[in-house]
Structure 1
Amino acid sequence: MMEKIAILILVALECYVQQTVPHPPDLVLPGDAYLDFPGLAKKYDLDCAIYDVTTEDGYILKLFHIPGNKSSPVLVIHGVLDSADSFILRGNSSLTAILHKNGYDVWVGNARGSRYGRRHETLNPDADKSFWSFSFHEIGYYDLPAMIDFVLDKTKMVSLSAIGHSQGNQVFYVLGAARPDYNKKIRVLIALAPICYLHNVMPPVNDVVALGPIINELLLLVGREEILGDTGTVRKIIDLFCLEGPQGYKMCVEGIFFPLAGPDPAEFEPEFARIVLNHYPTGTSRKNAKHLLQVAQKREFLYYDYGTIENLAKYNSIVPPKYDLGKVTMKVALISGKNDRLSTLKDVKILRKQLPNLVDYKVLDYPYFNHMDFIWAKHMRLHLFPHVIKILRTYGQG
């Protein structure tokens, strides 16, 4: 009964916010908040080429290229609810700029459903619910191969290095397990905040997992297949409450981000937070969120669970199969943070035991390094990037 009441309250809130909350007309943000990836690249004197990459199943994804040594291509992939923007928001202190400075040929990709992945050959994301019928499985199975093959064709290389953040490394495990021929195309995967297993997520993340079925029912009830997108209810709430002054930082960063990702105010200052929150979140599918919840609830790294009847049709089994991480033979380097509430050291330990070609594992020394510090921290140059460059120099040669 309480679950039904909660759903009704949330539906009412959804309708109220959609109909009554305007974008604050007098909101003034730092300049970088309004720039897209190419705009940020131009501001920070980085040449940026823009490509459209089409997947086997018709999704059209933006791929950004910061040219460097063609023999050293690096493909960078974002996590859930994110986009390529996060890898350049720190300007000359961002991962994109540091890779370029060190001579790498930098390619920054975008998954389907993100700000730069809302196009399809035949489907309209605003009108066709089937556009949103994907989870992280399809990102790994279709998006990554399309981007990898595009980069290798452009550079005339047979392999590349890769860097993923959060779900952006999880999708490489899907790729290696489901399409094992691609393992040989990856020189090394550097997995930042390595998400795979979600057995030991910390409060309040475990509470979100417990509420997952209610949230899913709510989304079904209101017909929402895209979640946390650029024009949805959450974006209006962020604009109204999160982007203005100290109270916005206290409410949204200290009240939401830090409890979920791990607190680290020294690395995520209020003025920069206002930039980030105009770029993030950028949306994904309800199905993707549900798949992540299934991984957490079932305590296994499984294919998507469609239910008994559809599972029989798709998998010839009433339960979905596990991803066979024994087939992920690409070299993998894992980098973890002690203060990461999403990718906990306990869960990374489970992953470490499953990967057959783990070449490096680093727990960062800075004790407050959290899940989002891997992409947004003020001092990534000190805490993170030396390890990334060292791994690339050791394992990322063609």
Structure 2
Amino acid sequence: MIIKLIIFFLSTLVVTLNLITQRDTPTDFIKIVNDSRYPVGEYDVVTQDGYILKLFHIPGDRSRPVLLMHGVIDSADTFVLRKNTSLAIALANAGHDVWIGNNRGNKYSRRHQYLDPNTDREFWDYSFHEFGYYDLPAIIDFVLDNTGAKSLSAIGHSQGNSIFLVLGATRPEYNERIRVLVSLSPICFLNNLKNSASQILKLLPAITRFLSIIGQEEIFSEDTVSARVFRYICGSKKSYSFCAHEIFFRLAGSDSEELEADFYPAVVAHYPTGTSKKNAVHLSQVGARRTFAEFDYGFRNLDIYNSTVSPEYDLSKVTMKVALLAGLNDNISTIKDVTLLRNKLPNVVEYNVVNHKKFNHIDAVWGRNMHIYLFPSIFNILSKHG
């Protein structure tokens, strides 16, 4: 199937390059939230190593702050795309003070105090390790300083949970600042990927080697030809039967009732967004080594870690309360891998398999009826532990 996809894109590339014109910029986060009749603030958060991150805020009860963190090649948009039935708006409706973060390198956080992402390769020298070690502490400290709260609740999706595990393991003092982490489709171990997700993981080393040869450090940038071709080909309802079924569903798990044709173009307009090649390499290493470990620098490990092997993250140090929510139809965050994570963490307060048989990796953020299947569980967890 991967070969078929490559052939399909190559065969249409010449035609589409001649047809693509500059399109309107997709509706951004603030416009989406304002359309739901909520005010929204935006802030620049500067990390210890100089990255400038965009943080959005939907005001509510300042004693009840909740931080939402997106997954891989995603942005804050993912939590508001469903507008009035999206997770961020549902939390705001319930009175929470809602903060939505963006990791370095995506379309909202493509800035640095000294480095230019277009000319300085050093800008892209990061993986999800830096998301957890630098980005999260800066965001959490900013939220707590602005609300006056001593701790906050957090909700992560996919890799948005990996980074909290990195945080808790490498900066354990932050465990006390998290009331509870609600982990939606959590990513930690990648030992039991299914179908196309497993194939993509195996291909990642070859793909990243090719990117190194051509000097490409950023992937899925908004302005690249490949991104524009993808959005041109897959950005309309007409492409739903191919792009949704043969790309999104094969990777994440199929659920056409939740990601329907009418809504699907809104997803493609906002997803994917940029990250570093190094982040993809780190994920491939986690899968290949079958362990959740720091970035493997090869022969440089001895200088960096004083060991020939990059160290595993010590999950026993992640003492924050964690609630795991998984799906039977998730090809990426599989039940087996979530169970492995459950057995490694010392303070899992809940482990729920979502009561919807087709619940997959993307339903948690884009599902049409998640306000029925998923949100009650989230609010219950926040009520009990947040």
TM-score (norm 1): 0.92
- In structure 2, the residue matched to 1:251 is 242
Greater than 2 Å deviation, 4+ residue runs: 16-20, 22-28
Residue of 268, 281, 284 corresponding to 2:272 = 281
Which secondary structure does the structure 2 equivalent of 1:348 belong to?
Answer: helix
Q: Structure 1's 27 and 266: CA in aligned 2 closer, same or farther, altered over 3 A? A: farther
Contact 2:364 2:374 in 1 (8 A): yes
- In structure 2, the residue matched to 1:186 is 178
For structure 1, the residue ranges without an aligned partner over 5 or more in a row are 1-5
CA–CA distance in structure 1, aligned partners of residues 15 and 49 of structure 2: 35
- In structure 2, the residue matched to 1:316 is 306
CA–CA distance in structure 1, aligned partners of residues 19 and 306 of structure 2: 49
- AA matched with 1:294: Q
What number of residue pairs does the alignment pair up? 381
Two-structure CA RMSD over aligned residues (Å): 2.1
Q: Structure 1's 79 and 22: CA in aligned 2 closer, same or farther, altered over 3 A? A: farther
- In structure 1, the residue matched to 2:251 is 260
Post-superposition CA distance 1:192-228 (Å, at most 9, x none): 0011000000011111122122101111122111101
The yes-or-no answer on 1:373 pairing with 2:373 is no
Alignment of 1:217-366 (within 5 A): 217-246=209-238, 248-308=239-299, 310-366=300-356
Contact 1:23 1:236 in 2 (8 A): no
CA–CA distance in structure 1, aligned partners of residues 358 and 16 of structure 2: 39
Which secondary structure does the structure 2 equivalent of 1:34 belong to?
Answer: coil
CA–CA distance in structure 1, aligned partners of residues 232 and 91 of structure 2: 36
CA–CA distance in structure 1, aligned partners of residues 364 and 237 of structure 2: 25
**How far does residue 23 in structure 1 lie from its aligned partner after superposition?**
6.5
Which secondary structure does the structure 1 equivalent of 2:30 belong to?
Answer: helix
CA–CA distance in structure 1, aligned partners of residues 121 and 15 of structure 2: 22
Which secondary structure does the structure 2 equivalent of 1:338 belong to?
Answer: coil
Contact 2:16 2:232 in 1 (8 A): no
- AA matched with 2:91: L
**How far does residue 19 in structure 1 lie from its aligned partner after superposition?**
12
For structure 2, the residue ranges without an aligned partner over 5 or more in a row are none
Alignment of 1:9-158 (within 5 A): 21=17, 24-25=20-21, 34-158=26-150
- AA matched with 1:341: N
Contact 2:16 2:229 in 1 (8 A): no
- AA matched with 1:134: Y
- In structure 1, the residue matched to 2:376 is 386
CA–CA distance in structure 2, aligned partners of residues 289 and 231 of structure 1: 19
Post-superposition CA distance 1:279-314 (Å, at most 9, x none): 000111000000000000000000000012x11111
CA–CA distance in structure 1, aligned partners of residues 16 and 367 of structure 2: 35
Q: Structure 1's 38 and 154: CA in aligned 2 closer, same or farther, altered over 3 A? A: same
CA–CA distance in structure 2, aligned partners of residues 258 and 128 of structure 1: 36
Contact 1:18 1:232 in 2 (8 A): no
Q: Structure 1's 355 and 227: CA in aligned 2 closer, same or farther, altered over 3 A? A: same
Contact 1:159 1:187 in 2 (8 A): yes
What percentage of aligned pairs have identical amino acids?
Answer: 50
CA–CA distance in structure 2, aligned partners of residues 285 and 148 of structure 1: 23
Which secondary structure does the structure 2 equivalent of 1:21 belong to?
Answer: helix
Post-superposition CA distance 1:346-369 (Å, at most 9, x none): 000100000000001110110001
Which secondary structure does the structure 1 equivalent of 2:269 belong to?
Answer: coil
TM-score (norm 2): 0.95
